[in-house]
Amino acid sequence: IYSRLINLLYLGTPGVGKSLMSRLLSEKTGLTWIDVSKFAIEKECLEEYDEVYQCPVLDEDKLLDQLEGLMCEGGKIIDYHGADFFPERWFDIVFVLRTDNTILYDRLRDRGYIGKKLEDNIDCEIFQTILEEAKSAYREEIVHELTSNDLNQVNENVNRICQWIEQWKIDNQED
């Protein structure tokens, strides 16, 4: 029996639709969506800038400190591309979103990604890097791979997740 509300983790290569699905699920359930990249900027958890990847490097310890209290309350949807440094105990269900390479390529190009950054992100999706990372970081039975190629799939996934949340409440919480 858990003493906190459910916490969910959305993972996946940039562009697979984590933020879109997190926002919709948050609107539907009332759970609080935390986009970790934005949260890290707001809470000043960034170190130097990586010139090759054109993105800032995270101060992971500071970020974990900032998130700890929120995660202990529960009721959070965490949205981030990597899982390897979050404590396992934070999450009850983990979703890894997947998108076909050609669709992802177009989404990332529309977002302005070019060159090495674009190619590396497509490789990351092809090699299932984040799925493997999630499976090694969390119990396999709580890791769910979801496809997010079109908007119908987004709605189907959100509805399915709402059902999982209801089931989790039945299984884990006293009334």
Binding site members for ATP: 15, 17-19, 111
Q: Is 14 in the site for ligand ADP (CB under 6 A)?
A: yes
Q: Does 37 bind ligand ADP (CB under 6 A)?
A: no
Cβ-proximal residue to Mg ion, closest one: 19
The one segment of 19-27, 49-57, 86-94, 118-126 that binds Mg ion by CB under 5 A: 19-27
**Please, what is the minimum distance in Å from the beta carbon of residue 148 to Mg ion?**
12
Count of residues in the chain = 175
CA distances from 49 to 117, 161, 164 (A): 14, 36, 39
Question: Whose Cβ is closer to Mg ion: residue 6's or residue 78's?
Answer: 78
Q: Strand (E) positions, the chain?
A: 7-11, 32-35, 46-50, 55-58, 76-79, 93-98, 143-147
Q: 86 φ, ψ to 5°?
A: -80, 140
Query: Residue 118: CB partners within 8 Å, gap ≥ 6?
Result: 105, 108, 109
Q: Which of 4, 43, 62, 107 binds ligand ADP (CB under 6 A)?
A: 107
Q: Which two tokens stand for residue 75?
A: 């009721």
Smallest distance, Å, CB 157 to Mg ion? 16
Which chain residues interact with ligand ADP by CB under 6 A? 12, 14-20, 107, 148-151, 153-154
